Amino acid sequence: MPHFQRVLPTGFAPESERPDRAKVIAGDPVFTTWSIEEQPGLFAGIWQSTPGKWRVSYDEWEYCRILEGTSIVTEDGAPAVTLRPGDSLILRPGFTGTWEVVETTRKDYVIRF
């Protein structure tokens, strides 16, 4: 395995899934994930979702950067934050709220457990 890896979906098989129906608030979002790095306690890759809104809760730490599209992330009890290409964020363990994809959104991410 090389010690250098570009974060691009090329050469990685995408996996598709939907969020748990019990968490979906609106729409029928479909997630596509290109897992580029999987190490004990660490994951990195590219994630994409079609429009929809669902509840989220994080037990892990995640850094991500929006590459395409528009999403609105709302932490319970806090104002909504609109995310557009170039925006980056950190979601810490204990975050609960909603993720709404307004326009199909693609992000790169690093998740640490």
Residue 29 domain flag:
yes
Residue 96 domain flag:
yes
CATH number at residue 69: 2.60.120.10
Residue 5 domain flag:
no
CB burial of 33-44 (b: ≥16 within 10 Å; e: otherwise) equals bbebeeeeeebb
Total-model pTM? 0.94
pLDDT digits (tens, 9 = 90+) for 51-103: 999 999 999 999 999 999 999 999 999 999 999 999 999 999 999 999 999 99
pLDDT of 75: 98
Note whether 61 and 91 are within 8 A (CB). Answer: yes
Residue 4 domain flag:
no
pLDDT digits (tens, 9 = 90+) for 17-64: 999 999 999 999 999 999 999 999 999 999 999 999 999 999 999 999
pLDDT of 2: 82
Domain count, the chain: 1
Residue 93 domain flag:
yes
What is the domain extent for residue 67?
Answer: 15-112
pLDDT of 86: 98
Residue 6 domain flag:
no
